C-alpha cells in the first residue's frame, strides 16, 4: 500500500521558533557559527488512504492556513543548503500517532492503516559535513530512539511473527558459561546464578528464557535491594543491614501521623478531614544517561504511577525534580566515551520532566540542580511525586483466589526490556550500544486518562489492589501482587503495540503507562466500562490462584512456572564487607578577599548557587491551583522560596509542604556529615516556610557508586547519619530508594566514581497555609535575626572554597542537640506572624541567603559581623539548620529565640546594596544589581531568556 | 436555581477540577462531562447553561494544541454547540480551551470549521509559567462586566499562546471590539510587546478575545488559578481585596440568572 507524505511548515514571513532555538543551541552548545538560519517542517506519513483523503487531512487537520502551508509528496523546504529528517526509529512508539489516527477517523477518513510523524530541518549556510554530523549526533538525533530518515519508507506497518520460547540449558553450564549468560543481560553474580542452577537441577529440568528473565529481574539490585538487605561487616565489626536500620529507626520514632512506611509504592501519612498524603522519590539515572528526554519522562511517569498505585490509588498533586550534572560548559573531549554532554543532558532532562508533568497536569514545584565535574560519566536524576487519597484507601487489599488480574493503560511493546537489570549494572562505554532497548518515550496523556479512570474506579470501590508496571513489567507487578496466593497469566491476551514479541518479551516489557489490578469478579464489568468511557484499554489477563505459584501461559504453552517462595525468598543472602576509605586532600585555606564584590558575584554565579528560575518557568507549577507558597515569588517574581506549600483541597485552608536537601560535594569529603547536612537542609526548608516540625516526615534516596568495600563504608556512614537524625528529631523515614550503580568503567579499565548522592526529601502537613512565610523581605527597617548554631570555621566543601580552590576535610557539622529547639522556635515565629520573611542558609552561605531575600523584597540590608571572626567565613559558611528571619520590629527577638543561639545581624534598608561592617568599620558595600546579574546569568545562558 | 455549568473534559484535560471549583464558588452547579458522554448521548449540552472548556493538553496537543478535540467537536457536536451559543448561553475556553474555541472556528466569528486566528508557539520557543498583568478592555463581553479598565493579574502556563492572525482579521476584530484582555506593562498598565510581560509575543498583546455577542470568551491566562487570596504568589506582601479571577466566573453565573 502506498505511503503518502504531507509536509507542513510556517508561512515564510513568520519566525520559526523551533529553528531559532535549535540555532541558539548549536551556537551556545557546539560553538558552530556557520549556519545562518534553520527552517523546520513537520512531516506526516499515511498508509492505506487515497491522495484525496490525504489532501483532506492536510487541510482539515495538519495545516492551518492562517500561519502555515503544506505540500503533498513534495519537498517543502526547497532552498536550504541541507535538509535532514529526524524520526523515531520504527518500533519506538510515537505518541502522536494515536491522535492522528483518531482525528482521521473523526473526520470520516476510513481505511488508514498506519501513520507517522517526524521533523525536518533545513540548514542555511556553509555548514560542513563534520558540523552537520555534530549537530545530528549531539543535538538532534538520539540514536537510542531516533534516526535520520534516509528515504521515504515503503511501508509504516511493523511486521513480525511471535518469537518462540527457548530453553536455557543452565544445568549443564560451568561457572564461565553462567557468568557469560549473566553479563550484559541478567546482572546476577555467580552465587545467584548457582542458586538458579541448583533450583532447576532439583526440578530436573532446564528453565525457559521467561523463567530466567523473571528471576533476574526479581533478584535485581533495582528491585530487591540486595546491598541494603545484606549483613555488613564494617571495619571488622558486624552490623545490621542498612534497610533494617532505617526501618527500625522509623518504627522506634512511633510518629503518630505515619499510616504506611516502607511497605507500599510510597509512604503514607495522615492529612486532615480523613485524608492521607503520600510521597515517593525515585531515581532514573541509567536511562536518563543514555536518552535524557525519554529517561526523564519515564522517570516522572514511573514515580507518578507509584503514587497512583499506592494503597487503592491516590491522586498525584505535586512533582519534584533533583538533578546532578557536570558543568554545562565542560569541554567535549572530557566527556567519557559512551556518555552524553552535560549541556545536552541538562536541557533534555528538563524537557522530559516538563513535557510529562505539564501534560499530565502535575505541578512540578520543588527541585534543585547540582553540578560537579565527576557527574560527567553519569548524571543523577531524581524525581519525586506526592499524592492525596482518602485515609481509608491507604492500604492495599490482599488479592483473593479467583480475583481477576487486569492490565490497564498503554499497550505492550518491546520497550524498556531489561530496564530493571540494566539500572542495576555499571555504566560502561558499551552501555549505549547494548542497552538501547532499555529506554522509551513516555506518553503522558495515556497516563493522565489512566489516572482519571483509576480514581473513579477507586471511588466506586472496584479495586482490591493496584500496582504499577514499572521495572520488570508484568513479571514484577503480578509476581508481587500474587506473592501470597499465586497467579496465572495468559500472555496472548495482553494487547500489543505490534506483533512479533516473544512471550518473555511481553512478560518482561517495561512499556510505560500500564498498571496491574486485582479485581473481584463481580466488579470486572463496571471497571471495564469506566475504562472504556475514559478511552483507557483494560484487559483481563488472568486470575489469582491458591497454588503459591507464578504460572504464565502463552496460548497453551506454559512458559513460566516458578514457586513464589523461590522467586521471592530464594535469593542467597549476602554478607558484605566495608572498610574505611582514605580521602586525600591537601589543606589549603583562602586569604581574605581583596575585591569583595567580585568574590560575592562569583559565589552568586556559582552553578550550585545560581538561580534556577528559567527551569521552573518551563514547568507548569500552578496547575491544580494549589499553590500557597510557589517556588518563586517576591517583587519581580524571581526570588526562590525554600519549600512549596500547597492547599490541595480547594476551599480548605490546610495544606501540604514539600522540600528537600542534598549536597553531593560534602559527601565526597564526609558522607556522614554530608548526609546530616542534607536531612537538616530538607527539614529546614520546610520549617523556614512555616511548617511544624512535628508534622514532617522524610524520604531517603541514596545514589551511590557500585558498592565496593570503600563505597559501602561511605554508604554505611550515610545510613547511620539518617538513623541518628531520626533519633534526634523524631522525624521518620517512610519511603526510600537506593541506586548503587554510579560507577563508570571505561574500555581501558579506568574507573570514574560518581559523587555519592544522598537526597533527603521532606513532606508533611500544614494546619493553615495562610500562616506560612516566604523568603522576600517585606519592609525596610526590620531587624534581621540569624537563628541557629553555626559551625562557622568548618568551610570544607563550601562554595567559597570551591571558587577559591581551597580544601579542608572539615565540613560544617550540624549540632543535633540544638536543631530540634531551633526548628520549633522558627515554627513559632512563622505561626504567630512575627517572622515577616524567613530563609534558611544553604549553598552560598549567609551572603546568598541575604541576597535572595533582598532580590525578593527589592530592599537592601545593613549587616554587622561579630568581632573576632573571619568575615569571609562568617558570610560564606554553609552550616545547615540556620535561618535568617526578618522580624516584625514590634517583637522582641529574645522572647522568641531565647535559649537557642541567635544573633541580631542588622536591618533591612531602602538602598540597593548589601552593606557589611565589622567592629564599627564598614568593610564593603555590594551592589545588588551586580549580584542579581551574576546569579541569573548561568541558567539564562543554558536555557535562553 | 443555580446555573448548571458543563465542565467539558477529555483525555489530557487537566484544569477541570479548579475550573469546577471556581464556578461553584461563584454560585454555579458544575458537572464534569467527558466528551465521550456527549458523543454517545449519555449527556447533552442542552442540559447546561454555561459551557467551560478548561486548560490542559487535550489529546496531548498533538498536531496543534487543542486540534484533535476541535476536530472531534466540529465533527460530532457542531449542532449542539451552535444551538448552545445561539440560545445565548455563555461559553468560556481557558488556555487549551481557548485554543479549542479558536480551532473550532467559534472564535472570533462564530463560524465552525473556519479557522481565522491561531495560537502559535510562543516567541521564546518555550513553555512559560508566570504571572502576568492584563488590561481588561472595554467590550461587550459579559464575563468582564465591571472589570473594564482594570489591571488584573493571572498566571499563564502555555507553550503555544502567541495570538496571530492576518492584518485584515486583526483590524476587523479590533474594530468590532473583540479584544477582551491584553498583556500589560506592570509599570504603566499599557499593552506591551516586551518579554516577559507579554509572555508569548501575541500580536497587539492579545491575551483573550470574545465573539460579537460577548458571550463566548477565550483567553490564554488562567483566571481559575486566582480565586483564593493565597493563590497569588505575593499575597503576603500586597493587599488583595478580591482574588482577580472571581469576578469573571461570578459575571457568567449572574448573566445566566438574569437573562436565561
**What local confidence, expressed as pLDDT, does residue A430 receive?**
45
B153 vs B233: CA distance, rounded Å: 10
* Pairwise CB contact (< 8 Å): A623 & B59: no
Among A103, A513, A773, the residue to mutate for chain B (most B Cβ within 10 A): A103
Distance from CA of A10 to the nearest CA of B (A): 10
B95 a catalytic residue: yes
Residue ranges in A783-897 assigned as alpha helix (H): 799-804, 819-831, 845-857, 871-876, 893-897
Question: Do the beta carbons of residue A223 and residue A476 sit within 8 Å?
Answer: yes
Q: How confident is the model at residue A431 (pLDDT cuts 50, 70, 90)?
A: very low
Q: What is residue B143's three-state secondary structure?
A: helix
Place of cell 512533582: A319
Report whether CATH 1.20.1600.10 matches the domain A3-148: no
Question: Do the beta carbons of residue A505 and residue A472 sit within 8 Å?
Answer: no
DSSP string, B197-216: TSSS--GGGEEEEE-TTS-E
Among B68, B114, B158, B233, the residue to mutate for chain A (most A Cβ within 10 A): B233
**What local confidence, expressed as pLDDT, does residue A428 receive?**
53
- Sign of the CA dihedral A6, A7, A13, A18? positive
Residue numbers of B between 84 and 113 with CB closer than 8 Å to A? 103
Spell out the domains of chain B, with CATH numbers in brackets.
4-259 (3.40.50.880)
**What local confidence, expressed as pLDDT, does residue A433 receive?**
42
Within A391-535, strands assigned E span: 404-409, 427-428, 465-468, 487-490, 514-519
**What local confidence, expressed as pLDDT, does residue A184 receive?**
67
**What local confidence, expressed as pLDDT, does residue A439 receive?**
61
Per-residue buried b or exposed e for B41-64, using 16+ beta carbons within 10 Å of the residue's own CB? eebebeebbbbbbbbbbbbbbbbb
Residues A155-170 have a mean pLDDT of 85
Q: At A864, phi and psi to the nearest 5?
A: -115, 120
DSSP category for residue A548: S
Give the active site residue among A4, A225, A255, A284: A284
Q: Is the pLDDT of residue A921 over 90?
A: yes
Distance from CA of A875 to the nearest CA of B (A): 27
Please write the tens of the pLDDT for every residue from A65-111.
999 999 999 999 999 999 999 998 877 778 899 999 999 999 999 99
Among B129, B132, B172, the residue to mutate for chain A (most A Cβ within 10 A): B129
Q: How confident is the model at residue A287 (pLDDT cuts 50, 70, 90)?
A: confident
Distance from CA of A626 to the nearest CA of B (A): 7
Q: Is the pLDDT of residue B225 over 80?
A: yes
Helix, strand, coil share (%) of chain A residues, nearest 5: 35, 25, 40
Q: How confident is the model at residue A328 (pLDDT cuts 50, 70, 90)?
A: very high
Question: Do the beta carbons of residue A212 and residue A168 sit within 8 Å?
Answer: yes
Give the active site residue among B72, B158, B222, B231: B222
Q: Is the pLDDT of residue A429 over 60?
A: no
> Does the CB of A535 have a partner CB in chain B at under 8 Å?
yes
Question: Do the beta carbons of residue A698 and residue A563 sit within 8 Å?
Answer: no
Task: For chain A, give every domain's residue range.
Answer: 3-148
> Does the CB of A16 have a partner CB in chain B at under 8 Å?
no
* Pairwise CB contact (< 8 Å): B196 & A945: yes
Please write the tens of the pLDDT for every residue from B166-189.
999 999 999 999 999 999 999 999
Nearby residues of A457 by Cβ (< 8 Å), 6 or more positions away: A313, A463, A526, A527, A530, A531
Residue B97, all three cell numbers: 480551551
Integer CA distances (angstroms), A598 to A149, A595, A800, A848, B71, in order: 50, 5, 12, 14, 58
Q: What is residue B99's three-state secondary structure?
A: helix
> Does the CB of B194 have a partner CB in chain A at under 8 Å?
no
**What local confidence, expressed as pLDDT, does residue B252 receive?**
98
Percentage above 90 pLDDT, chain A: 83
B117 vs B178: CA distance, rounded Å: 12
Q: How confident is the model at residue A434 (pLDDT cuts 50, 70, 90)?
A: very low
Q: What is residue A887's three-state secondary structure?
A: strand
pTM: 0.96
A634 vs A616: CA distance, rounded Å: 15
| CA neighbor of A394 nearest in space, from A482, A277, A477, A281 | A277
* Pairwise CB contact (< 8 Å): A359 & B129: no
Distance from CA of B29 to the nearest CA of A (A): 16
Q: Is the pLDDT of residue B59 over 90?
A: yes
DSSP string, B215-234: -EEEESSBGGG-SSGGGSTT
> Does the CB of A17 have a partner CB in chain B at under 8 Å?
yes
Residues B205-234 have a mean pLDDT of 98
Strand A258-260 relative to strand A275-283, pairing? unpaired
Residue numbers of A between 845 and 904 with CB closer than 8 Å to B? 857
Q: How confident is the model at residue A425 (pLDDT cuts 50, 70, 90)?
A: low
Tally Cβ neighbours within 10 Å of residue A259. 18
Which residue does chain A place closest to B196, by CA atoms? A945
Q: How confident is the model at residue B238 (pLDDT cuts 50, 70, 90)?
A: confident
Q: What integer best gives the mean pLDDT of chain A?
A: 93
Residue A604, all three cell numbers: 552568586
Q: What is residue A499's three-state secondary structure?
A: coil
B15 a catalytic residue: no
**What local confidence, expressed as pLDDT, does residue A745 receive?**
81
**What local confidence, expressed as pLDDT, does residue A28 receive?**
83
**What local confidence, expressed as pLDDT, does residue A437 receive?**
53
Question: Do the beta carbons of residue A337 and residue A290 sit within 8 Å?
Answer: no
Q: Is A243 exposed, middle or buried (0-12, 13-18, 19+ CB in 10 A)?
A: middle
Give the active site residue among B72, B128, B160, B224: B224
* Residue A72 β-bridge partners: A6
Amino acid at each position: 500500500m502506498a505511503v503518502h507524505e504531507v509536509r507542513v511548515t510556517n508561512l515564510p514571513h513568520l519566525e520559526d521558533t523551533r529553528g531559532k532555538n535549535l540555532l541558539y543551541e548549536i551556537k551556545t552548545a557546539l560553538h558552530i557559527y556557520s549556519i545562518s538560519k534553520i527552517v523546520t517542517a513537520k512531516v506526516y506519513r499515511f498508509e492505506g488512504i487515497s491522495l484525496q483523503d490525504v489532501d483532506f487531512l492536510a487541510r482539515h487537520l495538519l495545516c492551518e492556513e492562517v500561519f502555515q502551508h503544506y505540500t503533498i509528496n513534495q519537498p517543502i523546504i526547497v532552498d536550504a543548503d541541507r535538509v535532514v529528517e529526524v524520526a523515531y526509529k520504527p518500533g519506538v512508539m510515537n505518541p502522536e500517532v494515536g491522535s492522528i489516527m483518531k482525528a482521521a477517523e473523526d473526520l470520516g477518513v476510513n481505511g488508514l492503516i498506519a501513520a507517522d510523524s517526524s521533523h525536518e530541518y533545513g540548514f542555511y549556510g556553509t555548514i560542513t559535513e563534520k558540523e552537520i554530523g555534530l549537530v545530528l549526533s549531539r543535538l538532534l538525533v538520539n540514536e537510542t530512539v531516533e534516526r535520520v530518515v534516509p528515504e521515504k519508507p515503503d511501508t509504516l506497518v511493523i511486521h513480525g511473527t511471535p518469537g518462540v520460547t527457548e530453553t536455557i540449558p543452565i544445568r549443564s553450564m560451568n561457572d564461565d558459561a553462567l557468568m557469560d549468560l549473566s553479563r550484559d543481560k541478567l546482572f546476577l553474580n555467580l552465587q545467584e546464578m548457582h542458586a538458579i542452577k541448583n533450583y532447576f537441577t532439583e526440578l530436573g529440568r532446564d528453565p525457559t528464557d521467561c523463567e530466567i528473565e523473571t528471576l533476574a529481574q526479581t533478584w535485581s539490585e533495582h528491585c530487591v535491594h540486595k546491598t541494603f538487605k545484606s549483613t555488613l561487616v564494617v571495619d571488622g565489626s558486624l552490623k545490621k543491614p542498612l534497610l533494617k536500620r532505617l526501618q527500625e529507626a522509623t518504627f522506634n520514632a512511633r510518629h503518630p501521623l505515619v499510616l504506611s512506611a516502607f511497605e507500599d509504592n510510597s509512604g503514607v501519612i495522615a492529612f486532615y478531614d480523613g485524608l492521607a498524603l503520600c510521597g515517593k522519590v525515585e531515581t532514573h539515572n541509567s536511562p536518563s544517561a543514555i536518552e535524557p528526554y525519554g529517561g526523564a519522562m519515564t522517570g516522572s511517569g514511573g514515580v507518578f504511577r507509584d503514587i497512583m498505585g499506592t494503597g487503592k490509588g491516590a491522586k498525584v498533586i505535586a512533582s519534584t525534580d533533583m538533578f546532578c550534572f557536570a558543568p554545562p560548559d565542560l569541554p567535549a573531549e572530557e566527556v567519557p566515551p559512551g556518555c552524553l554532554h552535560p549541556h545536552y543532558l541538562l536541557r533534555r532532562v528538563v524537557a522530559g520532566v516538563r513535557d510529562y508533568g505539564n501534560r499530565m497536569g502535575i505541578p512540578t514545584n520543588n527541585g534543585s540542580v547540582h553540578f560537579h565535574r565527576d557527574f560527567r560519566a553519569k548524571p543523577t536524576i531524581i524525581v519525586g511525586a506526592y499524592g492525596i487519597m482518602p485515609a481509608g484507601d491507604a492500604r492495599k487489599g490482599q488479592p483473593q483466589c479467583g480475583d481477576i488480574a487486569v492490565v490497564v493503560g498503554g499497550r505492550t511493546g518491546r520497550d524498556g526490556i531489561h530496564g530493571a537489570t540494566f539500572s542495576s549494572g555499571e555504566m560502561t562505554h558499551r552501555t549505549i550500544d547494548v542497552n538501547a532497548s532499555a529506554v522509551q518515550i513516555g506518553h503522558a496523556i495515556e497516563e493522565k486518562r489512566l489516572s482519571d479512570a483509576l480514581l473513579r474506579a477507586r471511588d466506586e470501590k472496584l479495586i482490591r489492589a493496584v500496582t504499577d508496571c514499572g521495572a520488570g513489567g508484568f513479571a514484577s507487578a503480578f509476581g508481587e501482587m500474587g506473592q501470597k496466593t499465586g497467579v496465572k497469566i495468559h500472555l496472548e491476551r495482553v494487547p500489543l503495540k505490534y506483533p512479533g514479541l516473544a512471550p518473555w518479551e511481553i512478560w518482561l516489557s517495561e512499556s510505560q503507562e500500564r498498571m496491574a489490578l486485582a479485581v473481584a469478579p463481580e466488579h470486572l464489568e463496571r471497571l471495564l466500562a469506566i475504562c472504556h468511557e475514559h478511552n483507557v484499554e483494560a484487559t483481563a489477563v488472568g486470575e489469582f490462584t491458591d497454588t503459591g505459584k507464578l504460572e504464565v501461559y502463552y496460548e497453551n504453552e506454559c512458559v513460566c512456572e516458578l514457586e513464589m517462595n523461590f522467586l521471592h525468598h530464594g535469593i542467597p543472602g549476602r554478607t558484605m564487607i566495608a572498610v574505611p576509605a582514605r580521602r586525600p586532600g591537601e589543606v589549603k585555606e583562602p586569604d581574605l578577599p581583596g575585591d569583595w564584590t567580585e568574590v560575592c558575584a562569583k559565589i552568586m554565579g556559582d552553578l550550585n548557587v545560581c538561580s534556577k528560575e528559567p527551569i521552573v518557568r518551563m514547568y507548569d507549577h500552578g496547575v491544580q491551583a494549589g499553590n500557597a507558597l510557589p517556588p518563586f515569588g517576591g517583587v519581580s517574581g524571581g526570588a526562590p522560596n525554600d519549600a512549596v506549600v500547597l492547599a490541595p483541597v480547594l476551599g480548605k485552608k490546610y495544606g501540604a509542604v514539600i522540600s528537600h536537601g542534598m549536597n553531593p560535594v560534602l559527601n565526597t569529603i564526609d558522607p556522614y556529615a554530608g548526609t546530616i547536612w542534607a536531612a537538616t537542609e530538607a527539614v529546614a526548608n520546610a520549617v523556614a516556610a512555616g511548617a511544624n516540625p512535628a508534622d514532617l516526615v522524610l524520604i531517603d534516596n541514596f545514589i551511590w557508586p557500585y558498592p565496593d568495600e570503600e563505597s559501602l563504608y561511605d554508604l554505611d556512614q550515610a545510613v547511620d547519619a539518617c538513623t541518628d537524625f531520626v533519633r534526634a528529631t523524631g522525624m521518620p523515614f517512610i519511603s526510600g530508594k537506593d541506586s548503587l550503580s554510579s560507577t563508570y568503567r571505561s574500555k581501558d579499565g579506568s574507573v570514574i566514581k560518581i559523587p555519592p548522592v544522598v537526597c533527603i526529601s521532606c513532606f508533611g502537613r500544614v494546619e493553615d497555609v495562610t500562616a506560612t512565610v516566604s523568603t522576600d523581605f517585606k519592609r525596610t527597617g526590620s531587624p534581621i535575626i540569624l537563628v541557629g548554631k553555626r559551625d562557622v570555621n568548618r568551610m570544607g566543601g563550601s562554595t567559597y572554597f570551591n571558587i577559591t580552590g581551597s580544601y579542608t576535610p572539615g565540613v560544617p557539622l550540624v549540632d543535633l542537640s540544638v536543631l530540634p529547639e531551633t526548628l520549633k522556635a522558627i515554627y513559632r515565629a512563622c505561626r504567630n506572624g512575627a517572622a515577616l520573611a524567613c530563609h534558611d542558609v544553604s549553598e552560598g552561605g549567609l551572603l546568598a541567603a541575604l541576597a535572595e531575600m533582598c532580590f525578593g523584597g527589592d530592599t537592601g540590608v545593613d549587616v554587622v559581623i561579630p568581632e573576632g571572626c573571619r568575615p569571609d567565613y562568617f558570610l560564606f559558611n554553609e552550616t545547615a539548620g540556620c535561618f535568617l528571619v526578618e522580624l516584625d520590629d514590634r517583637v522582641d527577638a529574645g522572647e522568641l529565640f531565647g535559649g537557642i543561639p541567635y544573633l541580631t545581624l542588622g536591618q533591612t534598608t531602602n538602598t540597593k546594596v548589601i552593606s557589611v561592617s565589622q567592629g564599627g568599620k564598614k568593610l564593603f558595600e555590594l551592589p545588588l544589581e551586580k549580584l542579581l546579574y551574576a546569579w541569573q546569568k548561568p541558567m539564562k545562558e543554558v536555557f535562553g531568556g | 436555581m443555580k446555573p448548571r455549568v458543563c465542565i467539558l473534559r477529555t483525555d489530557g484535560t487537566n484544569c477541570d477540577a479548579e475550573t469546577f471549583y471556581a464556578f461553584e464558588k461563584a454560585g454555579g452547579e458544575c458537572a464534569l462531562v467527558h466528551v465521550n458522554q456527549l458523543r454517545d448521548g449519555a449527556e447533552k449540552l442542552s442540559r447546561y447553561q454555561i459551557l467551560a472548556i478548561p486548560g490542559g493538553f487535550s489529546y496531548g496537543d498533538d498536531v496543534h494544541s487543542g486540534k484533535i478535540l476541535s476536530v472531534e467537536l466540529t465533527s460530532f457536536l457542531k449542532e449542539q454547540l451552535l444551538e448552545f451559543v445561539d440560545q445565548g448561553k455563555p461559553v468560556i475556553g481557558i488556555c487549551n480551551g481557548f485554543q479549542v474555541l479558536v480551532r473550532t472556528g467559534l472564535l472570533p466569528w462564530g463560524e465552525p470549521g473556519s479557522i481565522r486566528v491561531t495560537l502559535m508557539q510562543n516567541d521564546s520557543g518555550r513553555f512559560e509559567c508566570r504571572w502576568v498583568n492584563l488590561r481588561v478592555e472595554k467590550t461587550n463581553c459579559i464575563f468582564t462586566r465591571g472589570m473594564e479598565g482594570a489591571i488584573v493579574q493571572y498566571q499563564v502556563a502555555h507553550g503555544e499562546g502567541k495570538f496571530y492572525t492576518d492584518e485584515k482579521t486583526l483590524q476587523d476584530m479590533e474594530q468590532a471590539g473583540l479584544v477582551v484582555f491584553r498583556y500589560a506593562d506592570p509599570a504603566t498598565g499599557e499593552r506591551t510587546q516586551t518579554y516577559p510581560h507579554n509572555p508569548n509575543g501575541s500580536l497587539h498583546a492579545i491575551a483573550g478575545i470574545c465573539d460579537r455577542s460577548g458571550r463566548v470568551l477565550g483567553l490564554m491566562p488562567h483566571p481559575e488559578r486566582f480565586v483564593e487570596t493565597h493563590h497569588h504568589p505575593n499575597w503576603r506582601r500586597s493587599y488583595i481585596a478580591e482574588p482577580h479571577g472571581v469576578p469573571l466566573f461570578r459575571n457568567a453565573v449572574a448573566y445566566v440568572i438574569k437573562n436565561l
